[in-house]
Structure 1
Amino acid sequence: VRARYVLAADGANSTLRPLLGIGTTGPGALGSFTTVVFDADLSRWCARRPAGVYFTAHGSFGPVHPEGGWMWFGVTPDDAADADWPGLVSRALGPGAGVRPEVRRVQHWVMNAFVAERFRHGRVLLAGDAAHALPITGGLGMNTGVADAHNLCWKLAGVLRGWAGPALLDTYDTERLPVARRTLDQTVASTRLMVEVQSRRHEQLRSGDATSDPVELPWSDRYFAQLGLVLGVAYRSRAVLTDGPSAPGPADPSAPGTDYVPTPRPGHRMPHLWLAPDRSTLDACGEWFTLFTPDPARWEQQLGGPWPSRVEALTAEQADSCALGAHGALLVRPDGHIAARWPDAPPSEAALRRALAAVTGSPGG
């Protein structure tokens, strides 16, 4: 097989990563865990309190499909080879549960926590778990892997189709590596918080002090402190221009908090605004550069060159929400992040083409 580029998405135990001499940073293995997939009727616990994950002092439960399929996961017992898995799951449900689960599958795995030292080696690019193995607590691993692909593939398409320079691929590592590191910190903190809560509850049960009250720890908000991290990511690279689009500049770093505060600043995700009753600004973005402006006629005159691009009209109210004047514009990349902003009229007839050339590293401007 001959190819111009290789995307190494071969998992946490990547074959390619060590062959390329790429090391990792982070705590490493946090422990050995087991997932048991089983069928059982747990409606007495979940019918009135539906959730994606149920935490107990003896492991966690989660629905697999609505017809009664469940999974339990927890620390792998010392006698795993001879363990009575139906009995273990039944005991985890609590005394007198009276449920004998029908076990479908048992899988042992290691919870890894690391980030690759770099995401690129020549024409090989790492993505997903090969680039960052994140603990499952908080559910951030899939989001981070999808965001890798979203960030990388429009850049790779541009290079292969000729409307972007090869140097654009350098911004993949520049943009995504800091996000992976912050996300690793969050998931490790969430894992330790979960273990702390479960240990405290287990001690309550062991000592006989357990009551119907939950463990007195306001932990759930911190455990799920992820929305600002997932949606509030702000990129800083040569593929993002400041409000003066002739040169790159810093963007606000993402705050690892629970809140996501939309902002029209370059580097951030394009905020959601309704363009029509059933069409959002997010729907308008795709495998092209999108220019949002209340003055489409003026900006359409600047379209041209090799870049895929479209213009979307904004109302005066929508433009005001984006901090734009009557002739301003936002240039949004194919991954939905704002590449440049002109608060008012374009500074020249070539402003848009120059911005696209700068963002993509191409000579087309």
Structure 2
Amino acid sequence: METDVLIVGGGPVGLAMALELRYQGIDCILVEESDGVITHPKVGTVGPRSMELCRRWGIAQQVRDAGWPYDHPLDIAWVTTVGGHEIFRLHFPSAGERPSPSYTPEPEHPCPHHWLIPLLIRNLGQYPYGPVLLCCRLESFQHTDEGVSAQVTYLDSGNTQRIQAKYLVACDGAKSPIRKTCGVDAPAYHPTRVFQNILFQAPELPEFLGARKALVFYMVNPKRLRYPLRSIDGKGLYRLTAVPQEDGEQRDPEEAVIEALGIDTPIEILSSVQWHLTHRVAEHFRHGRIFFVGDSAHTLSPSGGFGMNTGIADAVDLGWKLAATLRGWGGSNLLNTYETERRPIAVRNMEEANVNLQRTLKRNLHPEIMSDSHEGEQARKQMAENMQRGDVRREFDAPGIHFGFRYESPAIIPDDSPLPNHDPHEWTQNSYPGCRAPHAWLESGKSTIDLFGHNFVLMCFQGQQQVETFEKVCQQKGVPFTSIQINNPEIANLYERAYVLVRPDGHVAWRGHNLPNDPNAVIDRVRGHF
């Protein structure tokens, strides 16, 4: 078999990589060792930038309709037990009631793995009608300057086959055998921690909770539990995160769940999985014609929900650059900018997730906090006041992490205006080069972000004179290009410059009050020819 790009790993990031390549019209094959059925779902929420990318691929509504109830509150609550004392609550309206954010047409939406993975596979299609090969294991690969030759085994039959590809994208997880074979290390930034995830059914719990339902309950138990119990499907499926016992043995799942709930309600333990929380970022995201994307490139604490969403952004940055290179208009250095742009973002997100984790670990819990006494009431009141002052909301409402990252590479042409505020919690939309181009409604149902995807787009707010020169340069170099005149003062104010050039991934490549004197130099820079 021959293909342009071989993707190894069919998690959400590998599937997103395939969706982006298909969107760009690039042939790919994805091999995944499992059968695609998820019995122990991990990730729960598709972040807002990832939802914008789902919009790009035409599947955002499918994600919203995957199963999460539109009337279920998205609150985060801190409790002694689910049925016990509530200490603090962050109120987030349900998906059906929340107002639309000013900065995106696609707010985040709960969609755990056991819904998301089958949804993405259905959209891509299984071989031979689509690129997804399930129950197919990569056995070995050879890497040359011309491409990658991979040996795979079909697990159902035991048959083997060789796949010849121009590029290989490793989405094979945190342990990434491909990355290790390439000799690329992923050093730890913080100590590894061991956790236990317990998946269980509690069918009567939602009705018992009524108005006290929440997306996540954080246990506040000084001795044993201080981690989240999360509603997985908004109905009766939940996941509790616990820590092993002092001797390192896993806790009895039923005992841990009963302790966390604190009420007498029927439960059924479905699975219990031990996992290691690591904080790693690969030293390199590229090795010749092999690229590391998602967990193979970086692992981070789930605190804040940045992990999968960071990987999906990896896939889109790499996807359009592979398409440009394979089509011949991408410059010889364009693919190098994948690591240059994405690695700093991985480090940033990893550190922010660790800040969130440390906030939970270091929270001082008074021994009386579980008590029904006056002292217990005072301890809970004191904790609530501390949480209010400590701005705990930043972990669960962090648009600056999802949208506020700024790429810096030779393919981005900065200007001499002040840099945007680097604090992700003070983020506002802006058009500084490297930033994601701002969202604004052009008309009902059509956002500015809907303009970006396949071409470089020159947004013109003061006429399109001399744009023909830009067009001719792009035509000569084979660079897909379009220009659009926008006669809207509010959008012009948001975009800050008379002319803004946006890349296929929706990030600003260049901007100016006037068109450049040398459009040839600008186009060469942004297409990676430098």
1:164 is aligned to 2:330? yes
Among residues 192, 198, 204, which one is paired with 2:369 in the alignment?
A: 204
Among residues 435, 445, 461, which one is paired with 1:278 in the alignment?
A: 445
Contact 1:120–1:173 (CA under 8 A) maintained in structure 2: yes
| Residue of structure 2 equivalent to 1:233 | 405
Among residues 291, 294, 298, which one is paired with 1:125 in the alignment?
A: 291
| Residue of structure 1 equivalent to 2:495 | 322
Gaps of 5+ in 1: 244-248
Query: Which piece of structure 1 moves more, 29-38 or 149-158?
Result: 29-38
Any idea what the Cα deviations from partners look like across 1:43-65, whole Å, max 9, x if unmatched?
26753244332101223111111
Letter of the 1:48 counterpart? A
Aligned partners of 1:77, 1:308: CA distance in 2, in Å?
A: 58
Contact 1:229–1:255 (CA under 8 A) maintained in structure 2: no
| Residue of structure 2 equivalent to 1:108 | 274
Aligned partners of 1:196, 1:310: CA distance in 2, in Å?
A: 52
Q: What TM-score results when the alignment is normalised by the length of structure 2?
A: 0.61
Alpha-carbon RMSD: 2.6
Q: What TM-score results when the alignment is normalised by the length of structure 1?
A: 0.87
Equivalent residue runs for 1:297-316 within 5 Å: 298-300=466-468, 302-303=470-471, 304-305=475-476, 306-316=478-488
Aligned partners of 1:329, 1:269: CA distance in 2, in Å?
A: 15
Any idea what the Cα deviations from partners look like across 1:242-286, whole Å, max 9, x if unmatched?
34xxxxx89837724323211111111101122112211111111
| Residue of structure 2 equivalent to 1:12 | 174
Letter of the 1:340 counterpart? W
Contact 1:234–1:252 (CA under 8 A) maintained in structure 2: no
Deviation of 1:226 (Å): 3.3
Distance of aligned partners of 1:32 and 1:23 in 2 relative to their CA distance in 1, 3 Å threshold: same
Aligned partners of 2:345, 2:250: CA distance in 1, in Å?
A: 41
Among residues 62, 76, 90, which one is paired with 2:244 in the alignment?
A: 76
| Residue of structure 1 equivalent to 2:148 | none
Any idea what the Cα deviations from partners look like across 1:282-331, whole Å, max 9, x if unmatched?
1111122111113246425531231112222211502233223xxx3111
Aligned partners of 2:231, 2:294: CA distance in 1, in Å?
A: 24
SS at match of 2:426: coil
Deviation of 1:91 (Å): 0.9
Deviation of 1:92 (Å): 1.1
Any idea what the Cα deviations from partners look like across 1:59-105, whole Å, max 9, x if unmatched?
311111133111111212357868532232011123xx112311112
| Residue of structure 1 equivalent to 2:107 | none
Equivalent residue runs for 1:1-365 within 5 Å: 1-27=163-189, 29-40=191-202, 41-43=204-206, 46-57=209-220, 58=225, 59-77=227-245, 83-94=251-262, 97-197=263-363, 200=365, 204-205=369-370, 209-211=375-377, 213=381, 214-218=383-387, 219=390, 220-224=392-396, 226-243=398-415, 252=419, 255-294=422-461, 295-296=463-464, 298-300=466-468, 302-303=470-471, 304-305=475-476, 306-317=478-489, 318-324=491-497, 328-344=498-514, 346-348=515-517, 351=519, 353-362=520-529
Contact 1:293–1:314 (CA under 8 A) maintained in structure 2: yes
Contact 2:331–2:524 (CA under 8 A) maintained in structure 1: no
Aligned partners of 1:87, 1:229: CA distance in 2, in Å?
A: 37
SS at match of 2:438: coil
Aligned partners of 2:207, 2:235: CA distance in 1, in Å?
A: 15
**Percentage of identical aligned residues:** 31
Distance of aligned partners of 1:154 and 1:24 in 2 relative to their CA distance in 1, 3 Å threshold: same
SS at match of 2:335: helix
SS at match of 1:168: coil
Letter of the 2:507 counterpart? H
Distance of aligned partners of 1:252 and 1:224 in 2 relative to their CA distance in 1, 3 Å threshold: farther
Distance of aligned partners of 1:224 and 1:30 in 2 relative to their CA distance in 1, 3 Å threshold: farther
Aligned partners of 2:479, 2:314: CA distance in 1, in Å?
A: 22
Distance of aligned partners of 1:260 and 1:52 in 2 relative to their CA distance in 1, 3 Å threshold: farther
Aligned partners of 2:314, 2:291: CA distance in 1, in Å?
A: 10
Distance of aligned partners of 1:312 and 1:77 in 2 relative to their CA distance in 1, 3 Å threshold: farther
Query: Which piece of structure 1 moves more, 22-31 or 51-60?
Result: 22-31
Contact 2:196–2:250 (CA under 8 A) maintained in structure 1: no
SS at match of 1:47: helix
Deviation of 1:236 (Å): 1.0
Contact 2:171–2:294 (CA under 8 A) maintained in structure 1: yes
SS at match of 2:362: helix
| Residue of structure 2 equivalent to 1:246 | none
Aligned partners of 1:201, 1:224: CA distance in 2, in Å?
A: 24
Aligned partners of 2:238, 2:456: CA distance in 1, in Å?
A: 43
SS at match of 1:61: strand
Letter of the 1:145 counterpart? G
SS at match of 1:167: coil
The count of residues paired between Structure 1 and Structure 2 equals 349
